Amino acid sequence: TPKRILQFWKLRLFLKHVGTTVGVVCATDRDEPDTMHTRLKYSIVEQTPRSPGLFSVHPSTGVITTVSPYLDREVTFTIFSNEFFLFQYEASVEENTVDVEILRMPIDDKDLINTANWRANFTILKGNENGHFKISTDKETNEGVLCVVKPLNYEENQKVVLEIGVNNEVPFSRDVALRVTTMNRALVTVHVKDQDEGPECSPAVQYVQIKENSAVGSKMNGYKARDPENRTSNGIRYKILHDPKGWITINEISGSIQTSKTLDREAATPRNDLYNITVLAIDQDGRSCTGTLAVNIEDVNDNPPEILQNYLVVCKPKMEYTDISAVDPDEPINGAPFYFTLADTSLAVNRIWTLTRVNGISSKIMIYML
């Protein structure tokens, strides 16, 4: 036989909708868990104002619905239940909003017997794996205050269901011999409301590769932003905010790019880095985001090596030789090892000078005076 342990709970709801389900009372019986739905009957013991009544409860499912067109009323429920019940709340929050209170779960302890120092302790049992929510107890009212502490994204999640537990120091059961510290639980369905957001520049950095010295007017894919609501790039326009050397133009409609000058990898500063262009993406309502188009200018062997010294002295007999070094501004693959020869191949010159490779250094030779 079910243990009829009485509990009175008062819950206040802020109603935003009429004619809808506002919650479900679900009483369970620990002794006979499989038969609870067939045995338990629900009814509203009391509601204020009594006439016209605002709510009705379904006798077997426990679903509470509004029956009166009163809006935004604060309502106190007195719920009569077995050992614990599950109450379902609905709450909503705009996406991208943070540090807002979205629900208060009041608990009125006045009717509880022998619980003078009763203080509610709320915990989120399930559904907060990503840490978007926080629940705390209002010390004065003993209400559970549910807040959003990390912004939600409608495009990722339209609703989140949280299971909330509430404990207190005094067991819910008056039957102390049972020593049951049952946790009352509530299910909160948080509806994430869509915001009409601007375009999304994601990923923030997009990469493209162009060979240097490509013909002026060469085209390639550029930057793509998209509308987070429908995930398309339609209707988004593009502008270049910053182009270090002014080498690139962007197609306003497609975001594809075109070279407007001959690209010179060796003239871009800093060399050996990506050539970054800042792109502004604008939607039809004028909202915008910025992204980076990182252009990898592919090297072409378009630079000869250069000898570093243009004047050297070899002073006999103290010196027999000196080093000659050369550099190439292209990438290593288009640079050293270099081949050094004497420009003047005449016998007179060759009789006096000879070139010898420095071991292990491909950009340096020694010139000997014989």
Ligand X SMILES: *[C@@H]1O[C@H](CO)[C@@H](O)[C@H](O)[C@H]1NC(C)=O
Chain residues in the site for ligand X (CB under 6 A): 121, 123, 167, 205, 227, 229-230, 232, 234-235, 270, 273-274, 276, 283-284, 292, 294
- Asked if 296 is part of the footprint of Ca ion (rule: CB under 5 A), the reply reads no
Sign of the alpha-carbon torsion through 142, 76, 90, 198: negative
- Asked if 163 is part of the footprint of Ca ion (rule: CB under 5 A), the reply reads no
- Out of Ca ion, ligand X, none, what residue 301 binds, judged by CB under 5 to 8 A for its kind, is Ca ion
- Out of ligand X, Ca ion, none, what residue 229 binds, judged by CB under 5 to 8 A for its kind, is ligand X
Strand partners, 162: 188
Of 234 and 309, CB closest to ligand X: 234
- Asked if 299 is part of the footprint of Ca ion (rule: CB under 5 A), the reply reads yes
The enclosing H or E element of 357 equals strand 353-357
- Asked if 328 is part of the footprint of Ca ion (rule: CB under 5 A), the reply reads yes
- How would you label 180-210 residue by residue, b for 16+ Cβ within 10 Å and e otherwise? eebebbbbbebebeeeebbbbbeeeebebeb
- Out of Ca ion, ligand X, none, what residue 68 binds, judged by CB under 5 to 8 A for its kind, is none
Strand partners, 357: 365
- Asked if 175 is part of the footprint of Ca ion (rule: CB under 5 A), the reply reads no
Please name the residue that has the structure tokens 């306003």. 252
Of 12 and 119, CB closest to ligand X: 119
Of 190 and 263, CB closest to Ca ion: 263
Of 198 and 305, CB closest to ligand X: 198
Please name the residue that has the structure tokens 């060399």. 271
- Out of Ca ion, ligand X, none, what residue 220 binds, judged by CB under 5 to 8 A for its kind, is none
- Out of Ca ion, ligand X, none, what residue 95 binds, judged by CB under 5 to 8 A for its kind, is none
The span of 1-9, 103-111, 240-248, 298-306 binding Ca ion (CB under 5 A) equals 298-306
Residue 281, token pair as written in the block: 């993406």
- Asked if 303 is part of the footprint of Ca ion (rule: CB under 5 A), the reply reads yes
Of 104, 64, 113, 67, the residue nearest 85 (C-alpha): 64
Three-state secondary-structure class, residue 280: strand
Residue of this chain nearest to Ca ion (CB atom): 330
Of 229 and 302, CB closest to Ca ion: 302
- Out of ligand X, Ca ion, none, what residue 180 binds, judged by CB under 5 to 8 A for its kind, is none
- Asked if 108 is part of the footprint of Ca ion (rule: CB under 5 A), the reply reads no
What separation in angstroms does the CA of 119 have from each of 47, 89, 110, 158, 165?
A: 25, 21, 12, 33, 13
The enclosing H or E element of 347 equals helix 347-352
Please name the residue that has the structure tokens 């990390």. 150
- Asked if 284 is part of the footprint of Ca ion (rule: CB under 5 A), the reply reads no
Minimum CB separation of residue 275 from Ca ion in Å reads: 13
Three-state secondary-structure class, residue 320: coil
Cβ neighbors of 305 (< 8 A, separation 6 or more) are 326, 327, 328, 335, 336, 338, 363
Minimum CB separation of residue 125 from ligand X in Å reads: 8
Minimum CB separation of residue 346 from ligand X in Å reads: 49
Minimum CB separation of residue 212 from Ca ion in Å reads: 6
Minimum CB separation of residue 143 from ligand X in Å reads: 15
367: exposed, middle or buried (C-beta count within 10 Å: 0-12, 13-18, 19+)?
middle
C-alpha 343/C-alpha 147 separation (Å) is: 81
Minimum CB separation of residue 339 from Ca ion in Å reads: 12
Residue 322, token pair as written in the block: 């000196």
Q: Strand 219-220 relative to strand 306-307: parallel, antiparallel, unpaired?
A: unpaired
The enclosing H or E element of 186 equals strand 184-193
Of 30 and 364, CB closest to Ca ion: 364
Q: What angle do CA 105, 110, 114 make, to 5 degrees?
A: 115
Minimum CB separation of residue 338 from Ca ion in Å reads: 9
Minimum CB separation of residue 324 from ligand X in Å reads: 33
Minimum CB separation of residue 315 from ligand X in Å reads: 45
Which residues contribute to the site for Ca ion (CB under 5 A)? 265, 299-303, 328, 330, 334
